[in-house]
């Protein structure tokens, strides 16, 4: 689980713009899949992050909240 949290936190760090665009969502999903995480987890974590934070910048400023969000996506 720690590996998943670290991997997804690093993925989020790579984003640099202020809005969730289609390209950013697709990139997040692609990176998540390449981290050997299952599709249900990747989709769930993306939706939860988008719901919790209005922009990628906001998510990056609140990285300490990401593990809690990701835990909600456990199978």
Local structure of 35: helix, strand or coil:
coil
CA atoms of 17 and 20, how far apart (whole Å): 8
Which residue shows structure tokens 């998540």? 32
Q: How high is the pLDDT of residue 59?
A: 74
Quote the domain boundaries for residue 44.
Answer: 2-71
Domains contained in the chain, number: 1
Torsion 47-6-59-22 (CA) sign: negative
Query: Count of H helices and E strands in the chain?
Result: 5, 0
User: Does 4 have pLDDT greater than 70?
Assistant: yes
Q: How high is the pLDDT of residue 40?
A: 92
Q: How high is the pLDDT of residue 14?
A: 58
Local structure of 36: helix, strand or coil:
coil
- The 10s digit of each residue's pLDDT in 9-58 is 666 655 544 578 887 788 788 888 998 888 999 899 889 988 888 776 67
Position with higher pLDDT, 47 vs 7: 47
Dig out the tokens for 18 from the structure.
Answer: 């202020």
- The 10s digit of each residue's pLDDT in 56-69 is 667 778 989 988 88
């Amino acid at each position: 689980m720690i590996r998943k949290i670290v991997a997804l936190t690093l993925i989020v760090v790579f984003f640099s713009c202020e809005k969730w665009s289609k390209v950013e969502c697709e990139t997040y999903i692609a990176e998540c899949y390449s981290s050997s995480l299952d599709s249900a987890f990747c989709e769930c974590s993306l939706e939860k992050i988008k719901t919790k934070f209005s922009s990628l910048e906001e998510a990056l400023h609140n990285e300490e909240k990401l593990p809690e969000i990701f835990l909600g996506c456990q199978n």
